Amino acid sequence: MNFNLEKSIEILRSTPAVIRSMLSGLSDDWIYADEGLETWSPYIVVGHLIHGEKTDWIPRMEIILAEAQDKIFVPFDRFAQFENSKGKSLADLLDEFEFLRQTNIDILEQRRITDDDLQKTGIHPVFGAATLAQLLATWVVHDLNHISQMVRVMAGQYRNETGPWREYLRIIQ
């Protein structure tokens, strides 16, 4: 599929509800489980998504669309959620993520992005030039990647308990 803004917004709009539905009401054994040292639990992933809403997607879009000559993105701190989420419940994080995502979708829709806008570029501090279309497509895939990550981490909690069926469960192999 070629990049399509309207189809992208479908995923971006649904992500908070998907995550809320998947995680709400679960015990800490599911929410805080991870895959070992230096891996992320579903709780940490939600914090990471919040940090992205605040500092990544829309700020970088605004850099790309600005008339300024300096189009270099501010580096993204992939680990800020460890400090930023301290003392917050999962319910707090889900509410914050939902609010920030809706705010960012509103901003995205108000910008009335054109095909020409989608070809404008900014400079990623590691990857170099990136178009707005690439940034927005990455936002969508980033959501899907982290949903998949949360599901994988949760499924992994029963890796050993599935017995012989493990062979057929690719998510835990």
Longest Cα–Cα distance of the chain, Å, equals 60
Can you give the pLDDT at residue 48? 96
| Alpha-carbon gap, residue 50 to 52, rounded angstroms | 5
**Which residue is it, tokens 């997607």?**
57
Instruction: Identify the sign of the CA torsion 154, 156, 161, 163.
Output: positive
Of 103 and 70, the structure prediction assigns the larger pLDDT to 103
| Alpha-carbon gap, residue 30 to 52, rounded angstroms | 23
Residue 11 has pLDDT above 90, yes or no: yes
Instruction: Identify the sign of the CA torsion 27, 40, 74, 127.
Output: negative
Can you give the pLDDT at residue 83? 87
Q: Which domains does the chain have, with CATH numbers?
A: 5-172 (1.20.120.450)
| Alpha-carbon gap, residue 134 to 52, rounded angstroms | 16
Query: 67: exposed, middle or buried (C-beta count within 10 Å: 0-12, 13-18, 19+)?
Result: exposed
Residue 173 has pLDDT above 90, yes or no: no
pLDDT in tens, 104-158: 999 999 999 999 999 999 999 999 999 999 999 999 999 999 999 999 999 999 9
pLDDT in tens, 35-91: 999 999 999 999 999 999 999 999 999 999 998 888 999 988 888 898 889 999 999
Identify the H or E element spanning 107: helix 90-110
Of 173 and 116, the structure prediction assigns the larger pLDDT to 116
pTM of the model: 0.95
As a 3-state breakdown, the chain gives helix, strand, coil percent values, each rounded to 5, of 65, 5, 30
| Alpha-carbon gap, residue 166 to 173, rounded angstroms | 7
For the chain, the distance separating the N- and C-terminal CA atoms, rounded to the nearest angstrom, is: 29
Residue 28 has pLDDT above 90, yes or no: yes
- Supply 171's token pair: 């998510």
